[in-house]
């Protein structure tokens, strides 16, 4: 996380903060903020180079959620069956 400076010609990022940390042999991709700004979802999988390619399969990928207040995160899928690109879906109220 960081503060974006859109007034600078280079679009500088300042006040960097590490939000999510994972093992060296894994990568984090496809981050999405929760509507209330308290959580992040992200894809997490072995560092095999496929995370940067949206249209390709991602064996071993799982979706995780991180509580930004504590920095703790957990996997919410565990089968590793190409679970990537998480998205928040609004709940319809009746």
Domain map of the chain by residue range?
Answer: 22-88
CA-CA-CA-CA torsion sign (4, 72, 23, 48): negative
pLDDT at position 30 is 84
pLDDT at position 41 is 92
pLDDT at position 49 is 58
pLDDT band per the 50, 70, 90 thresholds, residue 50: low
Classify 32 as helix, strand or coil. Answer: strand
pLDDT at position 63 is 92
Statement: residue 10 has pLDDT above 90: no
Classify 67 as helix, strand or coil. Answer: strand
* Residues 58, 90: Cα–Cα separation, whole Å: 26
pLDDT at position 38 is 92
Q: Dump pLDDT digits (tens) for 53-94.
A: 556 677 788 999 999 888 899 999 989 888 888 888 877 887
Q: Whole-number mean pLDDT of the chain?
A: 80
């Amino acid at each position: 996380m960081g503060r974006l400076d859109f007034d600078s010609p280079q679009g500088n990022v300042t006040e960097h903060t590490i939000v999510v940390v994972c093992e060296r042999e894994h990568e984090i991709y496809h981050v999405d903020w929760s509507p209330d700004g308290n959580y992040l979802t992200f894809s997490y999988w072995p560092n095999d180079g496929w995370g940067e390619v949206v249209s390709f399969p991602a064996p071993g990928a799982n979706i995780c959620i991180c509580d930004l207040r504590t920095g703790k995160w957990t996997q919410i899928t565990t089968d590793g069956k190409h679970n990537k690109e998480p998205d928040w879906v609004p709940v319809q109220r009746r």
